């Protein structure tokens, strides 16, 4: 048999994918997934030799970039030692991962329940809150994403829930603050914050405080638009939760583990939730892992009464070994500090500079390695570049934007009328500048639709 060229190998990968892989969130025949041959650091490449700077970190998980040798070695070492084992035993990798996570979570979130990803973390956080309070309702924000399993998709607020929403009894959505498209028609951050808190209070009053188990919020909502909450908002929600005995859940699946320039985004707002979900960055996605960090009071509920939930792979040794290594790398290499620095000195200023020159940019917002660029047809009216939840032809301007970025070697994160700049937290200054230059080119294509 003649040896395959790389292009032929890529074509074979693609053919089998097209024949047999059923992809997430997709009309199966309308997609054309790139066959990826490899990845390292902030880049990945296909079989034809095209290399892309990854401004997506996968799905915002590769916080330390791809193929970090220390994490790869730790997974190999763990596989050689004990590749798998059941959850009901104390295991070195799991104990150490739990200790390292608990050391970094705020307040007394000192017990860690491990899951395989973010949605399962949300499922279990909601279950814990319901059992702890004996109440049923969960309040969550419209502009949010919490995962695609049954409870998590119902709790999710954005259009991704529409096709699967079974109207789960007890999930109530409310508006969280977002000044650029203010649900409260506010003009300042102070107004937005104050009106959002009043709206939450009103919602609670009409739902009945004694029926509400939890309020769940992404600390900085991610896929729904990287909307940094105004000062005082999360502290206000904390105070409301305390007043009504409601469990406050912060979802840090995307914002956690360095993404915002702190270990957890909650640190920016000086707020400590009762439960905190995490996944993605905990081990940079090298092996699926997520979890819930649990406060002392909620852990106490299950001290002498069994917690009625569990997973075959809770705290899988390979995933936990990857977490121990990733957290070690983040500490040794100053990854969290680097994310803060690159955001403050390169990404933030660079994106604001682009906004000044490109009429298609309506707003730039974010922090650390977590930025959103909101694309509009008209800066005055803020009409989005594509309609809300657009598909097909209606989405053509965003598709053209993405194609232009790829042509210039940048893989962009695109969601509705936004591009999110969410590269690995380890991205170098030169790489960040290279990505901004490609974005400059792609924004010129978006400008044609203004």
266 touching ligand PMP, by CB under 6 A: no
Q: Which is nearer to ligand PMP, 117 or 343 (CB)?
A: 117
User: Where is 43: in which H helix or E strand?
Assistant: strand 43-46
Minimum distance of ligand PMP from residue 269's CB (angstroms): 16
- For position 375 contacting ligand PMP by CB under 6 A, the verdict is no
Q: How far from 318 is each of 79, 241, 257, 322, CA to CA, in Å?
A: 7, 37, 19, 6
b/e string for 238-270 if b means 16 or more Cβ within 10 A? bebbeebebbbbbbbbbbbbbbbbbbbbbbbbe
How far is Cα 198 from Cα 1, in angstroms, rounded to an integer? 71
Per CB under 6 A, 418 contacts ligand PMP: no
Question: CA geometry: angle at 88 spanning 84 and 90, to 5°?
Answer: 75
Cα 382 to Cα 363: distance, rounded to the nearest angstrom: 9
Residues 3-32 interacting with ligand PMP (rule: CB under 6 A): none
Angle at 35 between CA 8 and CA 70, to 5 degrees: 115
Closest C-alpha among 143, 58, 31, 62 to residue 426: 62
Q: Which stretch binds ligand PMP (CB under 6 A): 174-182, 215-223, 261-269, 355-363?
A: 215-223
CB of 220 to ligand PMP, least distance (A): 9
Q: Considering only residues 254, 335, 439, 446, which one is a binding residue for ligand PMP as defined by CB under 6 A? A: 254
Range in contact with ligand PMP (rule: CB under 6 A) among 142-150, 162-170, 327-335, 366-374: 142-150
Q: Which stretch binds ligand PMP (CB under 6 A): 63-71, 78-86, 139-147, 412-420?
A: 139-147
Interface with ligand PMP (CB under 6 A), residue total 16
Identity of the residue, 117 or 397, whose beta carbon is nearer to ligand PMP in the bound complex = 117
222 binds ligand PMP (CB under 6 A): yes
Q: How far is the CB of 103 from ligand PMP (least distance, A)?
A: 22
Rounded CA gap, 229 and 218, in Å? 10
Helix ranges, 168-295 (H): 189-207, 233-244, 266-269
DSSP line for 92-155: HHHHHHHHHHHHHSSTT--EEEEESSHHHHHHHHHHHHHHHHS--EEEEESS----SSHHHHHH
* Contacting residue, 46, 192, 251, 274, with ligand PMP by CB under 6 A: 251
Q: Which C-beta is closer to ligand PMP: that of 179 or that of 255?
A: 255
Record the tokens describing residue 412, joined without a space. 């962009």
Sole binder of ligand PMP in the list 247, 253, 339, 414 (CB under 6 A): 253
The window from 12-20, 118-126, 307-315, 415-423 that contacts ligand PMP (CB under 6 A) reads 118-126
The mark string for 33-62 relative to ligand PMP (x by CB under 6 A, - otherwise) is --------------------------x---
Decide whether 322 or 404 has the Cβ nearer to ligand PMP.
Answer: 322
Taking CB under 6 A as the criterion, the residue among 68, 111, 135, 146 binding ligand PMP is 146
Q: Is 218 in the site for ligand PMP (CB under 6 A)?
A: yes
Instruction: Please check whether residue 105 is in contact with residue 137, taking contact to mean a CB–CB distance below 8 angstroms.
Output: no
**Given candidates 200, 279, 321, 373, which one binds ligand PMP under the rule CB under 6 A?**
279
Interface with ligand PMP, residue 118, by CB under 6 A: yes
In the bound state with ligand PMP, the residue whose beta carbon lies nearer, of 147 and 384, is 147
Q: How far is the CB of 198 from ligand PMP (least distance, A)?
A: 25
DSSP string spanning 377-418? EETTTTEESS-TT--GGGGHHHHHHHHHHHHTTEE-EEETTE
Residue written as token pair 């702190």: 262
**CA dist list (Å): 134 to 114, 202, 207:** 23, 22, 16
145 interacts with ligand PMP by CB under 6 A: yes
By the rule CB under 6 A, 119 interacts with ligand PMP = yes
Min separation Cβ 146 and ligand PMP, Å: 5
- CB closer to ligand PMP out of 145 and 269: 145
Contact between 249 and 214 under an 8 Å Cβ cutoff? The reply is yes
Please provide the distance, in angstroms rounded to a whole number, between the alpha carbons at the two ends of the chain. Answer: 54
223 binds ligand PMP (CB under 6 A): yes
Alpha helices (runs of H) in 156-303, residue ranges in sequence order: 189-207, 233-244, 266-269, 296-301
Residues near ligand PMP, by CB under 6 A: 59, 117-119, 122, 145-147, 218, 222-223, 251, 253-254, 279, 290
């Amino acid at each position: 048999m003649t040896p395959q060229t790389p292009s032929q190998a890529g074509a074979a990968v693609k053919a089998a994918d097209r024949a047999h892989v059923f992809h997430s969130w997709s009309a199966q025949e309308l997609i054309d997934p790139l066959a990826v041959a490899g990845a390292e650091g902030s880049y990945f490449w296909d079989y034809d030799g095209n290399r892309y700077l990854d401004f997506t970190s996968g799905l915002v998980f590769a916080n330390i970039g791809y193929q970090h040798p220390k994490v790869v070695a730790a997974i190999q070492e763990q596989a050689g030692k004990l590749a798998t084992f059941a959850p009901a035993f104390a295991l070195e990798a799991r104990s150490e991962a739990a200790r390292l996570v608990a050391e970094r979570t705020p307040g007394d979130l000192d017990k860690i329940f491990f899951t395989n990803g973010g949605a399962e973390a949300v499922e279990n956080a909601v279950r814990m809150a319901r059992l702890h309070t004996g109440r049923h309702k969960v309040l969550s924000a419209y502009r949010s994403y919490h995962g695609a399993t049954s409870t998590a998709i119902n709790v999710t607020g954005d259009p991704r829930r529409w096709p699967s929403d079974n109207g789960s009894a007890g999930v109530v959505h409310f508006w969280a603050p977002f000044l650029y498209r203010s649900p409260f028609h506010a003009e300042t951050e102070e107004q937005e914050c104050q009106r959002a808190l009043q709206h939450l209070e009103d919602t609670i009053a009409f739902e009945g405080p004694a029926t509400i188990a939890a309020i769940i919020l992404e600390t900085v909502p991610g896929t729904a638009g990287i909307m940094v909450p105004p000062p005082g908002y999360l502290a206000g929600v904390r105070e409301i939760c305390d007043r009504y005995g409601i469990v406050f859940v912060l979802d840090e699946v995307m914002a956690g583990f360095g993404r915002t320039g702190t270990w957890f985004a909650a640190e920016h707002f000086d707020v400590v939730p009762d439960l905190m979900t995490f996944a993605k960055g905990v081990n940079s996605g090298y092996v699926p892992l997520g979890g819930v960090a649990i406060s002392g009071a909620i852990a106490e509920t299950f001290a002498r009464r069994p917690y009625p939930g569990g997973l075959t792979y809770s705290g899988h040794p390979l995933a936990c070994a990857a977490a121990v290594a990733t957290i070690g790398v983040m500490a040794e290499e100053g990854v969290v500090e680097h994310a803060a620095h690159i955001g403050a000195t390169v990404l933030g200023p660079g994106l604001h500079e682009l906004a000044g020159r490109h009429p298609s940019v309506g707003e730039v917002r974010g922090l650390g390695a977590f930025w959103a660029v909101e694309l509009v047809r008209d800066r005055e009216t803020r009409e989005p570049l594509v309609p809300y939840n657009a598909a097909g032809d209606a989405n053509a301007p965003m598709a053209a934007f993405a194609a232009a970025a790829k042509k210039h070697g940048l893989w962009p994160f695109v969601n509705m009328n936004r591009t999110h700049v969410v590269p690995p937290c380890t991205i170098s200054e030169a790489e960040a500048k290279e990505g901004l230059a490609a974005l400059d080119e792609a924004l010129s294509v978006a400008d044609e639709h203004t």
